[in-house]
Structure 1
Amino acid sequence: MLPYYKFDKIKQFYGVPHTLEYRNGYRIATALSQESGCNRVSELTKTLHDCTWMYGRVKPKPIAPFKPDFVQNDKIILTFDGFFRQKVFEPNAEQYDLIRKVKIMYFMVDDTITVVEPAYINSGYSQGRIIRRSRITKDPHRNLHLTWKDLNIGIELKMFGITFHLTDCDSFTKEFLKANGIELNDIHVPPSEPRLFKQRPVTAPVNRSVCFKNSEIRPNIGIVLSFESIRIDGKKQLHDCVPYYISYYLEDGTISVKERKHRDESFDFCPYLIKRIRVPRYSKQLINNLIVAEEESFNEQKDERDFIQPSDFVVGKEVNLLGHRFLIRDCDARTRQYYEDILKVQQGERVMIDKIRPIQLKTDIPKYIGFGTPEDSLASCKSLVPREPRKNIVRYIVNANKYLRFGCVLDSARPEDQNRQFILKYSLADGKIGINELSITNSGIQGGKYVSPQLIAKNDCFKNEPDYYTCKDLYIGAILHVNCRRFIITSADLNDYRYMQENPELFSQEAIDSVRDYLISTNCLSSNEALICSS
């Protein structure tokens, strides 16, 4: 290696000594240092004892990223248990305070507080969120708000006119407050409500099985006797009476009467005529207060013969249930088997009655008032949710983009309408007719669309059931009434005549001849071509 191209590993300072330097923008002269670049003993000693040559450099400690307060305090909630008193005024009792327990939650992220009352069943008052999440003012004069340092067990907080007493807090809140140097007070026990110690009468539910012995109940659990019947009405015949299903539950001797529903019935449907109860045999004595009588009957252990029994249901006979007369028509196979095995009674055959005729209500279709089409108005009369009238999809697909065009003029006595020319366009896909007016120079009338495509009804038809113009009504010389205007067809094109020849069943012979004669007179069709087309 050439001289002076050798690198000294011990030497670390290669700077040249100097006496002039800048400090804070000022030029300052300094004394020349006696130590040169490679003669510094301190540098040499430091280099010789540097462990980084053998073990490497020590990794610096990572600097923790900066986190703002709203990130550090996010999802930190301090929860306290508390209560507040509410005055209760009862006319027939002493005045007492209602103790309402709440949860007070403090959100560290924005110093807001919310108060929520847990829901209790049958409390008698509305529960839930009492105070929405908001900042609570502590001193309005100095504009100070409550912070987490102001919260502790045993203190009172007055928020929006309500005084809350803090009684306890959760474990996380205790650890957080202790870690921040706040000493917690002793846990307070909330006072009990005076109304809980009042002896109020509690009505016990009626046990329907107390009047039966256990030996009678166990075999009859889940056994139901089903009967098919009709409700007898003196003003109606049997085939006009409403059918019902009568169910007798052997478990507790209760009876339910349910109406049978038919789709074609037009009267109001009532699911249950009689809900599941015990029906007394002499119902007139208990008809004014049936519930009280039923409770008394169970408590006093009345005789079972006072209530309807399975032996009272016989096919072909009547039974009176709470003043309603029912004719038993039939019963199911399981019920017949029960009567034969247990009661030793043979049920009769099914009572045949003429087919029950549903009540047919005649609905009058209202008159068409002019809004929309008659088909749309009729659909709103048939159902609550109107449906779009059905369309002939096959006709639309076969005749898509096929039109018949005719020339027409206005049948009017006004002189300004004598020279007006129109083109009538008939759509073979949906039968709609559109009329466009030809523009004539210096006529003073702007041409364009005159009648938008629509179904046009004839002048002498019934509005509720309109008769629309079809292709049969379009020929040379025909008169069409469109929106109180009379149009006379005066011309046709060659395409119309060819379509008439291909579909002669859709047009009369007079219509075909009129179009053919017009085309021959205008030299659009020769007589030989007309003979070929007709053949």
Structure 2
Amino acid sequence: MAMSMAKSTSLPGLWKMGTEKPRGLTGNEKKVTLAFKVGGDLGSAVDRKKGPASTKEHRELAGLLKTAGWRMMYTEQPEEPPPAEEEMIPRNMRHPREAPAWLKHDKQVLRFYGFFQETVTERPDENARYRHVSIMFHMEDGTMSMHEPKVENSGLAQGPFLKRQKVMRQDGMAYLGPDDLKVGQEITIYGRTIHINGCDRFTRWFFEQNGIWLPPEEPVVEDQWQKSYKLKKMIERGEMPLSRASVDAKHLAKYMSGAPHVDMKFTQFALNERKVLRFKAYWDDHTPYGARIYFIIHYFLADNTVEINEAHCRNSGRDSYPMFMKRGPLSKKNQVLAVPGLLAAEGQIYYPHDFRVGQSINVWGRKLVIYDCDDATQKFYKQYMDIDQREGCLDVSEKPVTHLKLTPPPHNGVGREEDSLINCSMIQPKPPKVDLEKLMLYTGEVMRFECQMVNGEPEDEMRRLVIAYYLADDEVAVFEEPIRNSGHMGGRFSEKRRIKNPATGEYFKLSDLFVGQTVVIAAQPLRITRADEHCLQYLEAHPEEFPYASPLACARRILPLAAEPEMQDEKGLEPDRLKDLAAAAGVYLVDHEVVTLLRHFGVAGGDNQPPRVLGPLALQCAQS
């Protein structure tokens, strides 16, 4: 085949270039990397081989040979089985089917309570003691620990009794386990025999879950030292009174030692030490430049002395000397003894029964009125004297001071009223705040109403004006329409500003303007006759603010006319006739409500006839 192709070429001898090594070379040259393409149709060669003709699928498979790794790319991979549930759990979170003890019983501890007896030598009052311990069995590794609770003044070193470790049985065959710890049994640990008399709730529940029954709790045994120690503590706290023999022995010992007999004052001091009655009082000083002064009275029950302190409020203007009377006996009546050092008669000082809420006491010529006391004082009088001090409490709260506020002067008409008011309230006036949200939302929105002047002057009957209401800042402007030969020049009638409504005394709101309403602007009565389409659509879009623009509210207003035959007319009802029928039924419709009914329930009239209100449709909407 190569020879036949070589003969057919136009340049003989050049077809071997790049496919055969030149003569005379040694054979160490690089291998041939050039390729060539056989021209012409190979169909004849295929026919000579008598093989099957190549198909499109075969050519596509042969073209895949140009791609490296074509076997891996175009070989169908076997479908992987879905992952098992165990493979979806991370390895560090998998639990074995049979969990070991350190995992199954992690942080689970069995607690038993027990005691053992210890001999006490060289003590006349006791010969043995019971030492109570808590036995902790850690199930995760089978170790045990013991702890002895500390008892005050026991004379023994208490606390950790056995460190956590595995404990061998007494026979040395195995370590102690949960089976060896039972309530009511005894175990021997390092030569000490411990009797187990109880366990905690978790331990009892754990044994019940495993089908092991534990005996009930045994009472805690006490030795002679514990009994005497508890009795001593009860006597120290005063929970047990002394016996008559002890009291007599105590007095006899004092007489034998030469100590004087305990008097009443010492007994009073011992029983009422640190007990104080607290009262609140005031004194009205009627001297020039005097005022009401408040006091705190302390009555000490230990020695019947009184202490009075002043209770000044903040910024009262008085000196910060709280002591009004130093602690001492308070006499009911002041007197001067003729001889210095002469004993005064008893019973002239104040006692607890002399202090009553609502009454007064004399303190060195000053009348102090007691108006309240604290809870402890109230409880003392109720318990020992059967006196309710709360009944005489006085209300000493002062009336709130009302400061007169100067009203701002009336507006003189120059500038805005808000600016003039700020000039009266501050030295450096600031501009009034602007509602930015409303300004950004309604900038450029203008509601226009057409009106006519109704002041009764014949020359003003033809004048037509337009009221413009700006939603962004609630300002109102009035413009006059130019009418030929009216005698009045068109243009601005009232500049844009916030205008007060003389009928309400407040600034004009959009709800004050509607068809049929008469408003006074610039001292001229203006009757609104109609509104533009944009204004009507805005009012109808906000029926909750403008009920006269709500079709449903207007239809419900004419429900009392449902029995009128004219309301059932399919041709409709004239607006003026509708107003007359409503007025006869006690319903007075404004012109804007009639306009709303015409816009939503109106039908066109005949030739040169005004539109009519379709009564059945309006009533049907009102009843739905």
TM category (shorter chain) comes to 0.3 to 0.5
Bigger Rg, structure 1 or 2: 2
Greater relative contact order (Cα 8 A, min sep 6): structure 1 or 2?
1
Normalized against structure 2, the TM-score is what? 0.30
Q: Which has the higher helix share?
A: 2
Normalized against structure 1, the TM-score is what? 0.34
Q: Which has the higher strand share?
A: 1
